[in-house]
Amino acid sequence: MKKVIIGMSGGVDSAVAAYLLKKEGYIVEGLFMRNWDSSINNDINGNPTLNNDICTQEEDYNDALKVCETLNIKLHRIDFVKEYWDYVFKYFLDELKKGRTPNPDIMCNKYIKFDMFKKEADRLGADYIATGHYARIIDGKLYKGIDTNKDQTYFLSQVSKDQLSNVLFPIGNYTKDIVRKIANEQNLVVANKKDSTGICFIGERNFKEFLTNYLPNQKGDIIDIDTNKKVGEHIGLMYYTIGQRRGLDIGGNDKRLYVVGKDLNKNILYVSLGDDTKYLQTTEALIEDVNFISDKRPTNCKAKFRYRQNDIDVDIEYLKDGNLIVKYDNIKSVTPGQACVLYLDDECLGGGIIKEVRKNGKKLWYL
């Protein structure tokens, strides 16, 4: 029999994935990853600061342990705190400093779950590794999970083809409702546990308060791009995203204003009261750090620029330096730092990171 090491997160998805693997006859063992030290925060220099937040990570471990006891499988535990800091969290901070919108979950999959985790699984004698992702692998190719509302291939777009070899996604052919139904039928303690949301290392904490431990606030002017007049003061460019309408705190106009762009050199946040299509709609994006999982290189396919965004028709130009120009028809809020993920039907071809956006071939100065 083949041995599978499955990443146990303490959630319902990995619990049911472990159950399904055991039901199929695999020798199954779980591995819980501790990627973040929730008992402390560190400042920008890496020095620890006190954190009084409740540590949900230990609760997750205990839930994973209870599931493994119910399924009668062994649970291993390993710390990747340093690796996560070096490869994921530093990337997150560096992108914020550049005024971009990073996605740390994508880098966690690339460097931790399908690299460090896989190496540890090999050490434990695994023939396969498995996770609770809503995705499918068919003939060595990555496909969307059948639950289109939960499909997680967007977050797997930076994982290499080699990293996906000998990987199993047991719940990729199931909907979330069925996964919870199976968990209840098997009396798994996490059957009705709420799904985790937001960025994993921030959890339920206030985003702004969390970041002040690592990046100093640099207040600056909020400028109306149409009148070039100051309309308020921002608390730090890193706290704002393109298209954002809430939380600007600019008096009576707050509900109508939206974020247009940032000037890092002048520390200015640009907003507008006008039609958001004027500033937020773009027609093409330059994509860097391109990773192809598939051997296919279409010139026309579908793309997502945000998780759960509807698939968008795009044309692709392949540049000699390995970057891509992805062209589309007037899409709003395509933002530097986010991922552009490519699809052909249900197959995930791979993706890259948005370096800059353009309108009719011209780079927008405010983005």
Which domains are delineated in the chain? 3-185 (3.40.50.620), 217-274 (2.30.30.280), 278-363 (2.40.30.10)
- pLDDT at position 38: 64
Q: What is the pTM of this model?
A: 0.91
C-beta separation of 319 from 352 below 8 A: no
Average pLDDT for the chain:
91
Q: Is the pLDDT of residue 42 over 60?
A: no
Which amino acid, one-letter code, is at 227?
A: T
pLDDT of amino acid 299: 98
pLDDT band for position 255 (cuts 50, 70, 90): low
CA distances from 97 to 50, 143, 236, 264, 265 (A): 24, 34, 10, 9, 11
**Does 348 participate in catalysis according to the annotation?**
no
Residues 6 or more apart whose Cβ sits within 8 Å of residue 3 = 26, 27, 28, 29, 125, 126, 127, 128
CA–CA separation, 367 and 357 (whole Å): 7
Give the whole-angstrom CA distance, residue 264 versus residue 269. 9
Distance CA 166, CA 149 (A): 26
Average pLDDT over residues 219-223: 95
Return d(Cα 180, Cα 148) in angstroms, integer: 16
Output 209 or 135, whichever has higher pLDDT: 135
Question: Is 108 annotated in the active site?
Answer: yes
The H-or-E segment that residue 358 falls in is: strand 347-359
Neighbours of 301 (CB within 10 A): 20
CA atoms of 263 and 37, how far apart (whole Å)? 34
DSSP letter, residue 364? -
Residue 286 vs residues 84, 131, 158, 282: alpha-carbon distances, Å: 28, 32, 17, 12
pLDDT in tens, 116-143: 999 999 999 999 999 999 999 999 999 9
Q: Using 50, 70 and 90 to split pLDDT, how confident is the model at 52?
A: very low
Nearest residue to 201 via CA among 213, 191, 189: 213
Provide DSSP, 220-252. EEEEETTTTEEEEEES-GGG--TT--SS---GG
Active-site residue (options: 68, 108, 301, 340): 108
Instruction: Compute the C-alpha angle 10/59/15, nearest 5°.
Output: 15
The model's pLDDT over 1-33, given as tens digits with 9 standing for 90+, comes to: 999 999 999 999 999 999 999 999 999 999 999
**Residue 337 and residue 354 in contact, taking contact as beta carbons nearer than 8 Å:** yes
Residue 277 is classified by DSSP as: H
Catalytic member of 55, 68, 200, 340? 200
| pLDDT exceeds cutoff 70 at 86 | yes
Give 234's contacts (C-beta < 8 A, 6+ positions apart): 219, 220, 221, 222, 240, 269
**pLDDT value of position 205:** 60
